[in-house]
Amino acid sequence: MSNPADVFEPVALRLAPPLDPGFQPASLVNRAFRADARATGAAVPVRFALEQADGSVFQHATVIYPDSHPRAAANTRHVERLVKFFLWSRGGYRVLVDGPASLVDHLEWHFASTATGHFDARLMGEQVYERPFVVVAAKELPPERSVTQPLGRHLEGCRIGFDLGGSDRKVAAVVDGQVVFSEETVWDPYPQTDPQFHFDGIMDSLRQAAAHLPRVDAIGGSAAGVYVNNQVKVASLFRGVPAPLFQSRVKGMFGEIQRAWKGVPLEVVNDGEVTALAGAMALRRNSVLGIALGTSQAAGYVNAEGNITTWLNELAFTPVDYRREAPRDEWSGDIGCGVQYFSQQAVGRLLAPAGITVSEGLPLPEKLKVVQKLMADGDARARRIYETVGIYLGYSVAHYAEFYDLRNVLVLGRVTSGPGGEIILAWARAVLRVEFPELAEQVDFHTPSEQEKRHGQAIAAASLPRLRPANQ
């Protein structure tokens, strides 16, 4: 933030997180901001749109204070946080803004000159869409347009599905929709500088599954990041790889893997999309937002027609906490983003407030195991961690509902394993009942079985590719 005047007025929570009472949820702060701006009788409308390389366009609107208002300094922060959310939930390289010239100027400055804004602009422009990232003033916004496509649900034949996470990689062998083998292997991809480490690890998992199949007809995979036509655009798994090696080896790695498997149909998509697909398949419902609480936060969305869109759904980068002292994401450098609230990082962050002491160098997956063991033993300190995450989730789902047509929210991932997962869902539901009763009537929370939580994404990933006619 540029100065103390641009902070938001604090809001009171009816259900405060027991281990994080300073939490300022975006859902409540935005609601209060807009209500106060409208109460002036001179609220200024602001619209903005994001444009993608394929011509998809997404719009959003809000209101801000008139320039003469004492709280007008918060206008830029309000709009920047919304644009940030829209960028990472939808994606785009061109931001068109219908609003005051000073607001457009500030957004241009933010994305060009601040560390967090430049991170967003560089990843969206250079890496995802491979075009210059720009902010443009526009009195007329292009109409909304979105490309959708069916996703997966192909289970015939002998298939391999894999899911690449930050602490483990999972794989499943599937024959005509029946799982005949599933396994997970611990790995540590983030600090690895040699892409061969990642290639060898993925190939090892595929060989494990192939050993349980008479043949391999297709391979489907999910991984954190942005993938377009099986090319790696942005992926935290490979963030330790130097840029030249990323371009020369990582970007086309899945094409290399496909060639190693004699060109069988292969599809790789964002792990959040497979989370949503797994939910839609299991629930036999659509309008599903899947949220996986693992090493990071993964998310995906299946629309009312049962299709995915060109949306990125990278909710790990989206702001959900608007306080000035919110925890900072180690990769983007921004504060209050989902990764610090819905992942193993969140559990690690809440250990000290809960009064739980562990070895300083203990890896996050091991810290989570400590909390899960304490929870299984009925420890009240562990329970408060899950209650806190559940309250985070309830307020954040209300924020997500501003940008998604939500009917079903599927919550899974390693953080939700064991009895703590039910506590998370119970408190998320409680927040909606107390703060957002209209959403409580509309949105159903779901969680898969323990087996589906741990391996559901790899199984759903196996259904991604269509078989070639010769294989059918």
pLDDT for residue 471: 47
How many whole angstroms separate alpha carbon 125 and alpha carbon 147? 20
On whether the 150-472 domain is CATH 3.30.420.40, my answer is yes
How many whole angstroms separate alpha carbon 390 and alpha carbon 25? 13
How many whole angstroms separate alpha carbon 318 and alpha carbon 83? 10
Task: Give the pTM.
Answer: 0.87
pLDDT for residue 309: 79
Domain boundaries, the chain: 40-146, 150-472
How many whole angstroms separate alpha carbon 227 and alpha carbon 218? 18
Secondary structure element (H or E) that encloses residue 203, with its range: helix 195-210
C-beta of residue 58 within 8 angstroms of C-beta of residue 38: no
Per-residue pLDDT tens digits for 345-357? 999 999 999 999 9
Per-residue pLDDT tens digits for 167-214? 889 999 999 988 899 999 999 999 999 999 999 999 999 999 999 999
Q: How confident is the model at residue 110 (pLDDT cuts 50, 70, 90)?
A: very high
pLDDT for residue 458: 74
Q: How confident is the model at residue 468 (pLDDT cuts 50, 70, 90)?
A: confident
Question: Between 26-39 and 380-400, two packed helices, what is the crossing angle to 10 degrees?
Answer: 40
Specify the residue for token string 């500088």: 193
182-207 in b/e form (b: 16+ CB < 10 A) is bbbeebebbebeebebbbebbeebbe
Per-residue pLDDT tens digits for 306-320? 887 778 999 999 999
**And the tokens for 156?**
């015939």
How many whole angstroms separate alpha carbon 283 and alpha carbon 261? 33
Per-residue pLDDT tens digits for 22-77? 999 999 999 999 999 999 999 999 999 999 998 999 999 999 999 999 999 999 99
pLDDT for residue 472: 46
Please tell me which residue, 279 or 107, carries the higher pLDDT value.
107
If you ran DSSP here, which 8-state letter would residue 341 be given? T
**And the tokens for 53?**
């390389």
